[in-house]
Chain A
């Protein structure tokens, strides 16, 4: 089971994803932060895309992957509706997403997120055996 919550943060945006596995937690985080940008209910799952990132370690790879999504949304104007799967390796991350091109007649951005940061990042398994990944985004 995966879910996300928005955490309180004075200046910016903090989101935590939770799941039974690392991958589920990361998928929840990606769903949570894109839901801050645009209502996923308004996006059609018309096209599949693979988003990839490399890093010096898992933390770097995850933060870079989130940055890739920001680029995809704001610069390439392509909106993710659902996150199908994610793979995590020692120095890389790869997500399969479905969505569509931004259409100003149907889509409305809710906020602008500038970047994913390393600040207050955490990816760990709790005593309840659930994985949680937390990231802070610059707005």
Chain B
């Protein structure tokens, strides 16, 4: 491993000093164990590139799960000044508001013993998954537009969930949006049939159990206890979000020329936050974010119905409360302390999770003293984590943390290692039932294809930008 230009600040922080066209330093949060892979993955170059964007404040950051992305690395975080800064679709990603939600239950692991395969099959049948999957929800264009403006509120209003779900969703499950006329016909076309669908690749629905609680008090506030069955759902804005990103990359390419913005990487195409193009992108991005929240809300509702039918109890009696829903790919206006002064920023999180600490504005009252739940999916064979946001994250990373384990192997390399059938059999032998529309996806998503999420969480907690609350283990996995 060539550390090269990286300066080790402590066991969990690496600085890339400002050089060339960089306007600020780069900071990578990683342990000695992880930094080599991050360097191999060319994330360092991407952190440096982001540091060149106009209006970037403090530093260009990468979380411990950082790896190669488009423009920004996955795990990239950047706060832009709202007056002088830019907004970049590459800092949000194609799958706008890809995110994770966690539902609790009153069930214990012993309550599902011997029933997991059947339960998993019911979930697989109920939640549409796979390539280009379409939902059972047939929306008119008029109703689709209501989804885009209403997000989770729309879903709850239509009967897909509980009012309390909104309180436990980042931003209440809705970002401000008012003008669907700015969207391309193609975006609407791609979004029309996919509300309530999981998608493919690394998106999943998992039945998990709480293997270990690290902080009883915080876990109690979050509604978690050892042995408890919980459900984790990972999905985003599907074809609609990809199309919005694609459409606006073209708009931004022209804006870059018009505004004479220097870009070290074309995928960082951007526009001043205050420009017409910037404002239009933010309007469209908010609508894609709302689509993603509605999508996860509908799937959570379907999951509650499956559990209710299966266990013969209402979702309320099964206490299937939404613990939290967090975004991974988003840009949002937030106020943060920068060198002792409060500044309004447009914080880009690309493959990074908001990790607001105690007392931060925008959290539900119940999480005011603990900090927000930070949901970190790992891989389908090992573990996932629930952390809590910290004051240190607020001070250092604009209240951000990692979003997952991060890939270690390419999809083709993973496929060469094992077949999907082998992966399924091995997981079954370990008590994990997996259902997927594609065996190829299972091979691509095998545990060995990912870094060990425990290592990533260790680095997050070592840097104090997250705090361990609970470690979750999978029992049943539905993959696209």
CA–CA, A74 and B430, complex, Å: 36
Q: Are A111 and B250 in contact (CB under 8 A)?
A: no
Q: What is the CA–CA distance of A131 and B408 in the complex, to the nearest angstrom?
A: 31
CB distance from B207 to the nearest CB of A (A): 24
The answer, among A8, A55, A111, A136, for a CB contact under 8 Å with B200, is A111
* Least CB distance, B204 to chain A, in whole angstroms: 14
Number of A-B contacts (CB under 8 A): 82
User: Across the interface, do A117 and B70 meet the contact criterion of CB distance under 8 Å?
Assistant: yes
For A75, list chain B residues within 8 Å (CB).
186, 189-190, 239
Q: How many residues from A make CB contacts under 8 Å with B?
A: 29
* Complex A-B, nearest 4 residue pairs according to Cβ-Cβ distance, in ascending order: A118-B266, A112-B131, A109-B131, A112-B200
A106 within 8 A of B: no
User: Complex Cα distance A23/B413, Å?
Assistant: 30
What residue of chain B has the Cβ atom nearest to residue A12's Cβ?
B411
Interface string of A98-133 (1 = CB under 8 A from B): 000000000001111011011101000000000000
Beta-carbon nearest neighbor of A67 in chain B: B246
User: In the complex, A33→B312 CA distance in Å?
Assistant: 48
Main SS class of interface, A: loop
User: Does B70 lie within 8 Å of A138, measured CB to CB?
Assistant: yes
A8 lies within 8 A of B412 (CB): yes
In the complex, A48 has a CB within 8 A of chain B = no
User: A-side interface residues toward B, CB under 8 Å?
Assistant: 6, 8-13, 55-56, 59-60, 64, 67, 71, 74-75, 109-112, 114-115, 117-119, 121, 136, 138-139
Determine how close the nearest CB of chain B comes to the CB of A88; give it in whole angstroms: 18
Determine which of A11, A56, A121, A139 lies in contact with B67 in the assembled complex, contact meaning CB atoms within 8 Å. A11
Tell whether A119 pairs with B265 under 8 Å between CB atoms, given A9-B410, A112-B200.
yes
Q: Mark B78-107, 1 if CB is under 8 A from A, else 0.
A: 000000000000000011000000000000
Q: Are A112 and B246 in contact (CB under 8 A)?
A: no
Judged by a CB distance under 8 angstroms, whether B223 is at the interface is no
Q: Which chain A residue shows the least CB distance to B414?
A: A10
